[in-house]
Structure 1
Amino acid sequence: MNTPLTAAYSPAAFRQQAHALVDLLADHLERAQSGTNPVLDYTEPDEQLAYWQTDFEKPVNADPLPLLTDMIQRSIHLHNPRFMGHQVAPPLPLTALTGLLTGLLNQGMAVYEMGMTANALERIVTQWLATKLGLGSDAGGLLTSGGTLANLTALLTARAIFAPTDVWEHGTTDRLAILVSEEAHYCVDRAARIMGLGTDGIIKIPTNERFQMQTDLLETYLERAKTQGLTVFAVVGSACSTSTGSYDDLSAIADFCEQHKLWFHADGAHGGAAVLSDTYRPLVQGIERADSVVVDFHKMMMVPALVTAVLYRRDADSFRTFQQKAQYLWADADAKDWFNSGKRAFECTKLMMSAKVYTVLRTYGEAIFTENVETLYDLARWFAQAVSSRPSFTLAVAPESNIVCFRYIGDGSQSNQLDAINTQIRRQLLKDGQFFIVQTSLRGQVYLRVSLMNPLTTTEHLTALVNEIERIGADLTNLSNSDSATYSA
């Protein structure tokens, strides 16, 4: 009997729809990569919601292609080389195809039999990356859904090992704390608050003129924490920071942690991939001494979100994070078996995320990751030089990664309005849709911020961006001067 439910599972219908979707996406990819169309067709949030609310009221349509076409057109296009905003990679097309496969297979990974291939691939991928990081022969880890969960997982492990009491079994009233750069990603702060550390337990170390942790202050802040009744159990190093892409001195942090017997965690979500480049590996010198490291594959390694590695110098440490019994899942809840993923990760039904990374490695080899890192980091250095050569701009700091922060200053006549002008420049770019960049606040001033995530972005695209910003900035400055003159008259 052919019911709507059985028809929805039809292999023939799937074949037809999948072929049509691949054609649709290939056309989209071609248009986006040409850079001739807008990066996005920006609409205000309420307008966007109203559009889809109206769409939701329409009759069902057995052909999903019009709907899928609409979704593409009303989304930001990461494969456009003029996308230079958030730290999200334009995924390799191969990884999207692998996502189609993993979506259909739907292998949960908590227990081995539900994710036999996925768990094996995860083991290989994490040990490969741990080796590249230089974490040693005892290293290993797991994959999880994003940097926030990854950093939380690692810090929970640190607490389980270093906290004065067994928090998992007995809870704690101890006042625990971590030391972290004031420029660290907000997810570290969030993870600490989830763990119950509170504001006092997140001790932020000031940064230098390059927005790097002042490691010479660690001793002072540790002693101050002790006098306040806090027990510091971990130090977090940024590799790199989110706002400016600056790398902390990981070797100095490692020395400090070894001296005081503290857990050293390196947040390499964005910049940890520098280890894959002989040119840029010195940026992460010392990361091999970390007790735990996180690296996002969906940032610098061209994999769709979310895929993040949580790696440990001692693989056995990963089993300390979640120690609970689930007899219906595992016959031996205490066994340290790598093939039951749920023992070490937040997720129980975890996506088959390892397949995307493994497929890239087996198809292109690790050299494609190296080329991507070097292409984007090199491009950032070129862009910083181009910005610095123009008197109407100032650079926040010479970039270490693929993140560049700069500020339009014009001729200097509007110094008291530069924050508003730079905010308006970004807003105008967003509305025009030809470029997508973001902004950040550094030392109380608004800066424009570019994250060069697309290896198809060229120096010509960046020159066009600077020209457009200069044009908008001049128009805004002239308008402001005209308004001031009118007001004075």
Structure 2
Amino acid sequence: MADDKEALSDFDERLLQGVLARIWRHLGGQRDSTSRINKTVSPEELKRRLDLAVRREGIDIEEMLSDIDTYLAESVNTSHPHFMNPLWGGTNIASFAGEIITALTNTSMYTYEIAPMATLIENEMIATMGKLVGYEAGEGIFTTGGSNANLIGMLCARDRKLPDAPTDGIQGKELVAFISEDAHYSTIVAANILGIGKNNLIPISCDDEGKMIPELLEESIITEKRAGKIPFCVVATAGTTVVGAIDPLEEIGEICRREYLWLHVDAAWGGAALLSPKTRGLLRGIEKADSIGWDPHKMMGIQLVCSVLLVRNSGTLNKVCSHADTAHYLFSNKSKNYDLGRKSLQCGRRVDALKLWLAWRAKGDEGWRLQIEKYFSIAKYFADQVIENPLLELVIEPSMTNVCFRYTGARLTQEKQDIANEQIRTELLSSGRFMISTSLINGRTILRGVVANPSVSELVVDELLTTIVKIGNELSQIKY
């Protein structure tokens, strides 16, 4: 029991030894392709099986380590070679080391005084990523995720249009923002928080490739102005969640310049394409953006969460996130040029820059280039294999490394294809063999595999497609 100081010291030592042994064992087994990715169990059943209650008295070391064993056993193996479900996966060991050191040092990012080296590291990472997008004199901040980056980007837009909003509010002014119809749902959340309301978030239709249509954006801006509303922001997407589409940033940027609208680019997924000369052209025109969100925890594989907001003009965030120097107990003029809490919506904020910095130091620019090019190469192979299989259909040509496809079978109607694809995914999950996602494109159910995991290979793609066709054929014979 961990009751007194002497016992606590022994408890801590034994706990850490046990944890380190489990970390080593867990890392060693993560990439075993013969193991299960997940366990399929309902929340109710899992809750019945677990003892989650905290007690009046503390538990002993054996129970503590048993709890950890149970947690690891019940967790999804997101580093499994067959894990292709979300826009991230795998383990970057240098980043993992940074996460451990971050927890070990346990500090907050509001002042240089309490986080000296972390502050300088964050500034270095912001400058490095800013140059990649074309900002020579910009600024930025690490955020709690891409959703938060979108919120702050839209907040910057609001405050440029209404400079008095931070003190006086929007005072009934009907602001409108424009988004792709396939934009991330966080823009709706941001509209709610900013007080403009989701009905003043205008969705712009996309073309057959999932990209916002600039001509329709221009028409919508004119329409809203005639209705007496105040356009203030366009949110373009560089890498939509389902298909990975990249909006035409060059054209949208020109429209925003003419209309004096803030352009925020949600590049949470697509930002990593800037790391290779072969793919950075996909984001042509991103330098026209006033603000950009980029998630290194996605294709770069940094441990969750690692997300950045970049802003073109230095000084913007200090105005937008100003606390009017009321927090005199934290901030002093001596370090005001370094205290990152002055340009963050958060006060307490964890050190997310260290893991990115260590990973970048370990890989270098060349390492990132190779990783990104590998992912795009495998995604192309994936798409080509789908095209070559008469029982599969490539639904949309990949822009990023999202591969959207369907099992079509030999003689299935569209409705039965939808049912079959849902059931294929269910069978994959219940078997624990592969984890991919489903979604809807043009009202039809599709399968989506994402290449964002360093353990995914062409061989894994072959195994996945063979398994899908086998399951689909079996379902067709039994049910259809």
Q: SS where residue 298 of structure 2 aligns? A: helix
Letter in 1 for 2:206: T
Match of 1:486 in 2: none
The 1:379/1:25 distance shift into structure 2, 3 A limit, reads same
2 CA distance for matches of 1:336 and 1:183? Answer: 42
1:371, CA displacement in angstroms?
Answer: 2.0
The 1:7/1:308 distance shift into structure 2, 3 A limit, reads farther
2 CA distance for matches of 1:301 and 1:9? Answer: 39
Letter in 2 for 1:114: I
2 CA distance for matches of 1:190 and 1:321? Answer: 18
- Superposed, 1:306-317 pairs within 5 Å as 306-317=305-316
2 CA distance for matches of 1:5 and 1:395? Answer: 63
1:248, CA displacement in angstroms?
Answer: 0.8
1:440 pairs with 2:439: yes
Letter in 2 for 1:286: G
Match of 1:484 in 2: none
2 CA distance for matches of 1:54 and 1:313? Answer: 47
1:207 pairs with 2:206: yes
Deviations 1:160-199 (A, max 9, x none): 1123x51110112111111110111111222122212223
1:31 to 29, 32, 36: 29
Contact 1:414–1:477 (CA<8 Å) still a contact in 2? no
1:464 pairs with 2:463: yes
Match of 1:79 in 2: 79
1 CA distance for matches of 2:72 and 2:439? Answer: 28
Q: What is the RMSD of the two structures over their aligned residues, measured on CA atoms?
A: 2.1
1:55, CA displacement in angstroms?
Answer: 7.2
1:66 pairs with 2:82: no
2 CA distance for matches of 1:474 and 1:401? Answer: 29
- Superposed, 1:50-61 pairs within 5 Å as 50-53=48-51, 60-61=59-60
Contact 1:408–1:422 (CA<8 Å) still a contact in 2? yes
1 CA distance for matches of 2:414 and 2:30? Answer: 38
1 CA distance for matches of 2:291 and 2:210? Answer: 23
2 CA distance for matches of 1:269 and 1:29? Answer: 27
Match of 1:344 in 2: 343
Match of 2:114 in 1: 114
1:3, CA displacement in angstroms?
Answer: 7.2
Match of 1:187 in 2: 186
2 CA distance for matches of 1:15 and 1:98? Answer: 21
1 CA distance for matches of 2:249 and 2:394? Answer: 25
Letter in 2 for 1:349: G
TM-score, normalising length: structure 1? 0.92
Match of 1:231 in 2: 230
Q: SS where residue 406 of structure 1 aligns? A: strand
TM-score, normalising length: structure 2? 0.94
Task: Calculate percent identity across the aligned residue pairs.
Answer: 27
Match of 1:418 in 2: 417
Match of 1:271 in 2: 270
Letter in 1 for 2:104: L
Deviations 1:40-92 (A, max 9, x none): 12211211222224676797222433222221111111111100001223231
The 1:338/1:300 distance shift into structure 2, 3 A limit, reads farther
The 1:52/1:88 distance shift into structure 2, 3 A limit, reads farther
Worse overlay, 194-203 or 423-432:
194-203
1:301 pairs with 2:300: yes
Q: SS where residue 417 of structure 1 aligns? A: helix
Match of 1:169 in 2: 167
2 CA distance for matches of 1:193 and 1:423? Answer: 33
Match of 1:377 in 2: 376
Letter in 2 for 1:110: Y
1:226, CA displacement in angstroms?
Answer: 1.2
2 CA distance for matches of 1:468 and 1:141? Answer: 45
Contact 2:88–2:453 (CA<8 Å) still a contact in 1? no
1:366, CA displacement in angstroms?
Answer: 2.7
1:124 pairs with 2:124: yes
Letter in 2 for 1:38: R
The 1:59/1:113 distance shift into structure 2, 3 A limit, reads closer
Q: Which runs of 5+ in 1 are unaligned?
A: 482-489
1:42 to 40, 44, 56: 40
Match of 1:427 in 2: 426
Number of matched residues? 475
1:251, CA displacement in angstroms?
Answer: 0.6
Superposition misfits of 4+ residues, deviation over 4 angstroms: 12-16, 54-59
2 CA distance for matches of 1:381 and 1:466? Answer: 14
Q: SS where residue 60 of structure 1 aligns? A: coil
Letter in 2 for 1:170: D
1 CA distance for matches of 2:280 and 2:428? Answer: 34
1:5, CA displacement in angstroms?
Answer: 5.3
1:337, CA displacement in angstroms?
Answer: 3.7
Deviations 1:287-307 (A, max 9, x none): 112110111011011211111
Q: SS where residue 231 of structure 2 aligns? A: strand
- Superposed, 1:234-253 pairs within 5 Å as 234-253=233-252
- Superposed, 1:324-343 pairs within 5 Å as 324=323, 325-331=326-332, 337-343=336-342
